[in-house]
Amino acid sequence: MRNTNLYTGCTIGQHVSNCFDKLTSEEIKLIDANSVNIKYKKHEIICKQGGLVTQLMFMKKGLAKVYLDDGVNTLVLKIIPTGNLLGLASISEENNVFQYSAMAYIDSEIKQIDIQIIRQIIRQNSEFAKDVIDILSSNSVQIYNRFFCFTHKQCFGKLADIILCLSDRIFSTTQFELPLSRREMGELSGMSTETLIRLLKKFVEDGLISIEGKTITVLDYERLKNISEKG
């Protein structure tokens, strides 16, 4: 199995939320009675920075970006794939507003769960609470590593990180159809669209990847990994 921890700047969450496996049958019924499934179209806003958190959101199917936006600049913090949570940072009653915005990259389906119910279960189910803490810890480490990547890695290393993340953590294959535009991919790697396009062309010329339309094929995984590690 490939070691996906090698590229530390990855934006994509790798901690699948298994905390719901620790619920009792009564707790599952309680959550089901206090949740709804919402479908979001591609590019639709899921939550807004500064908005009141009333639900914990579980990504049943889809892909979304979590980002900060000051009205001029956008900083992508991470990508939320299927099986991950949104709003967990606001599980404390003292921090009941979204610290970020989220937008669907593709058509997605999210289960919205009343956050008061989640808080109640955390108080009564220690195994569930432990898993929630583990997820929060994993999220923190990922954000720390991402900012280290932004600060210290060169553009080649950043792009290699993104391609490896998509290949390993989203699609689990070396050939995949990219659901992101070049501008969105540039946002993920902290580069301008022009720089990203130039580097993608260079990666193709060097035999690292091939691109046909929106389909990317990783041709030399080990060299990409080496570029990611050395930054």
Domain boundaries, the chain: 19-149, 153-230
Q: Which residues of the chain have pLDDT under 70?
A: 1-17, 150, 231
In the prediction, which pLDDT does 12 show? 53
Residues 6+ apart with CB under 8 A from 202: 156
Q: Is 209 exposed, middle or buried (0-12, 13-18, 19+ CB in 10 A)?
A: buried
pLDDT tens readout for residues 51-60: 999 999 999 9
May I ask the CATH class of domain 153-230? mainly alpha
Which tokens sit at 48? 């807004």
Which tokens sit at 4? 């996906």
What percent helix, strand, coil does the chain show, rounded to 5? Answer: 45, 25, 30
As a whole number of angstroms, the distance between CA 161 and CA 182 comes to 15
Q: Is 22 exposed, middle or buried (0-12, 13-18, 19+ CB in 10 A)?
A: middle
Identify the CATH homologous superfamily for domain 19-149: Jelly Rolls (2.60.120.10)
**pTM here?**
0.80
